[in-house]
Structure 1
């Protein structure tokens, strides 16, 4: 979805807000570099998860919410892939639901989803004690857990996963991709590219991270019953779910 890890995108404003020191900021930049160069394989995602949860321990929740809301458009909007917004617009113009699902924290993913005009968000949740992050995860929306989350969403909303589309860049999202009828690899890491080729899945390339501007305009919606699908690009296993609407499910 965006051209870097969403978990690390807010490092600079967190530094400006006094939440991290220069050493932590450099460590985050190095983690981002490794993530970019090696892709979101299981080892790198786990290292990134450990870094982020350790970094967040003790942070006040209300301060994080404020920083994310105040800096969202300046930080994230220039990183959004033009092709991703075009894909969202295409699905929305067909009346499909759009759901953003990510291993990053809900505090960051939910505002990004609102900015993009998605219908629902699923993301990881940090445990909170006395208004501060404990450094532990209540729910890690990653790997098989991400696939479980989309199955639960499909059951809640009456989605037919066989008619759904899923998009991801990481082999760690293989359970999610395999759970839907129309999986697509986007900017895949080496392992996912091989899997996509072996399974005959489409492969897309996104390479235009530019400001969203007016390119993402909410479409008129007449959603009554719909199916879901998923997409994620260059964020920690982030994914969109695009509901395939009307034809088959409108009669249920």
Structure 2
């Protein structure tokens, strides 16, 4: 076989229609797996003690819900990087490996460059550092790492928005490329309904280091939201989604109301063009609202000046 023909065979999955079809297949598979995992985690939640509320709870609104991205939307920075830092401090891998891991993940998930090398590298490394570990162990370690490195990085303004939906009787899910088990910990600690996240393959409770489908990123998030809505009986026209990234435009476009939180330049441009609401907590001020307000109206929101300053110092 001539070299140019061999090259065409090797790279053809990343060209033209084949590339798009394969990425879409993996995104759909990731979305379905994430929705299944979210439903399973929700049904497995332990019952909480019944405490007499100060006022009657709102009646449940079963067809409306809210979906929140995590990185730079609900939490300052990348949750997977905070998690990796915690694992490095526990000798799960060398601290010297952290910089390279962080750069590759941030380049893909924040920069959103979906070229062949970046996608392959991000997919291969996303859960490679937990290969051979048990799911139970990683969840227990994740609980510790959340307390150490994540709890003080929650944007109070975004947290207030999530509580606004809960107070209206709506369910609230996180939607993130971070591992679904870690996403579930964050959701549980914030008192939310559940989480959609990247699903790692496991056999007999032990991670293989491979993904089910792909990272829950970009189009995969939209697939996950639609799959969960189908399972939970949600009317997406009555749902709201929040994100900071242009990469999440597919998810934001899948619901009736989209809100840009701490938006990057690309998402800010899209939000202005489409009349989406914009909220910015990075400067301790509320950015000007664009277009029609959210489905629940403008609520009281707390800024995060101190947290922002702490993040910049880091």
TM bucket (normalised to shorter chain) is 0.7 to 0.9
Equivalent residue, structure 2, for 1:178:
253
Equivalent residue, structure 2, for 1:66:
140
Equivalent residue, structure 1, for 2:264:
189
Task: Work out the CA distance in 2 between the residues paired with 1:39 and 1:202.
Answer: 23
Equivalent residue, structure 2, for 1:237:
none
Equivalent residue, structure 2, for 1:203:
278
Unpaired stretches in structure 2, ≥5 consecutive residues:
1-73, 285-294, 296-314
Aligned CA distance change for structure 1 residues 39 and 131 (closer, same or farther; 3 Å): closer
Aligned CA distance change for structure 1 residues 182 and 78 (closer, same or farther; 3 Å): same
Task: Work out the CA distance in 2 between the residues paired with 1:39 and 1:193.
Answer: 17
Tell me the SS of whatever aligns to 2:173.
strand
Higher relative contact order (CA 8 A, sep 6+): 1
Please say if residues 143 and 173 of structure 1, whose CA atoms lie closer than 8 Å, have aligned partners that are also in contact: yes
Structure whose alpha-carbon radius of gyration is higher:
2
In the alignment, is residue 15 of structure 1 matched against residue 80 of structure 2? no
Please say if residues 196 and 202 of structure 1, whose CA atoms lie closer than 8 Å, have aligned partners that are also in contact: yes
In the alignment, is residue 107 of structure 1 matched against residue 177 of structure 2? no
TM norm structure 1: 0.73
Between structures 1 and 2, the one with greater helix share: 2
Aligned CA distance change for structure 1 residues 51 and 189 (closer, same or farther; 3 Å): farther
Please say if residues 39 and 189 of structure 1, whose CA atoms lie closer than 8 Å, have aligned partners that are also in contact: no
Task: Work out the CA distance in 1 between the residues paired with 2:236 and 2:150.
Answer: 30
Shift of 1:120: 2.3
Q: Aligned Cα RMSD in Å?
A: 2.6
Task: Work out the CA distance in 1 between the residues paired with 2:152 and 2:100.
Answer: 23
Q: How many residues align?
A: 207
Equivalent residue, structure 2, for 1:230:
none
Equivalent residue, structure 2, for 1:56:
130
Moved over 6 A (4+): none
TM norm structure 2: 0.59
Tell me the SS of whatever aligns to 1:9.
helix
Please say if residues 124 and 210 of structure 2, whose CA atoms lie closer than 8 Å, have aligned partners that are also in contact: no
Task: Work out the CA distance in 2 between the residues paired with 1:105 and 1:208.
Answer: 29
